[in-house]
């Protein structure tokens, strides 16, 4: 069995954690409670760490060409490219937040907001294209 088959098991963790990080960051901005700041930080770190094996397994799954019957190869290419971009954005967000010791301010905060919003958007778009592979129309 190839590690590519693990992709469909692993992918739920970075999706849920990246979206949870964005949501808790919104709550942090609104309520200014340290609980939300810390929760968002740890969700983001776990999202970044879990995204790495997810992308590796997805790349192997792509190489194995195990697509759902009826799925378009072009859809797999789009999904794979989006997966690598999403990994980069999530890692950049986690790195930005870590470098600023979980307290981004000024230009760092603006950069972080763009990255966390981009992470949530990229996870959503990548998941959409992955869904098109699993349930082709």
The SS3 call for residue 136 is coil
- Asked whether 49 and 21 are in contact (CB, 8 A), the reply is no
Q: What pTM value is reported for the model?
A: 0.92
In this prediction, residues 26-39 reach a mean pLDDT of 93
How far is Cα 119 from Cα 26, in angstroms, rounded to an integer? 14
- Picking from 59, 44, 45, 50, the residue whose alpha carbon sits closest to that of residue 4 is 59
The backbone torsions φ and ψ at residue 102, rounded to the nearest 5 degrees and listed phi first, read 65, 20
How far is Cα 128 from Cα 1, in angstroms, rounded to an integer? 26
The separation between the first and the last C-alpha atoms of the chain, rounded to the nearest angstrom, is: 28
Residues ≥6 apart with Cβ < 8 Å to 43? 17, 18, 20, 21, 24
The pLDDT-based confidence of 105 (bands split at 50, 70, 90) is confident
The pLDDT-based confidence of 136 (bands split at 50, 70, 90) is confident
Q: Which residue do the tokens 């907001």 mark?
A: 113
């Amino acid at each position: 069995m190839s590690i590519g088959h693990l992709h469909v098991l692993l992918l739920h963790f970075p999706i849920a954690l990246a979206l949870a990080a964005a949501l808790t960051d919104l709550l942090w901005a609104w309520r200014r409670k340290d609980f939300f700041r810390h929760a968002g930080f740890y969700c983001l770190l776990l999202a970044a760490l879990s995204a790495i094996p997810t992308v590796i397994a997805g790349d192997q799954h792509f190489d194995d060409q195990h697509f759902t019957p009826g799925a378009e190869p072009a859809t797999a290419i789009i999904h794979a490219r989006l997966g690598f971009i999403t990994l980069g954005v999530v890692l950049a967000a986690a790195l930005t937040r870590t470098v600023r010791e979980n307290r981004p301010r000024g230009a760092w905060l603006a950069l972080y907001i763009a990255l966390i919003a981009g992470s949530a958007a990229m996870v959503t778009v990548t998941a959409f294209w992955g869904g098109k592979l699993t349930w082709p129309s």
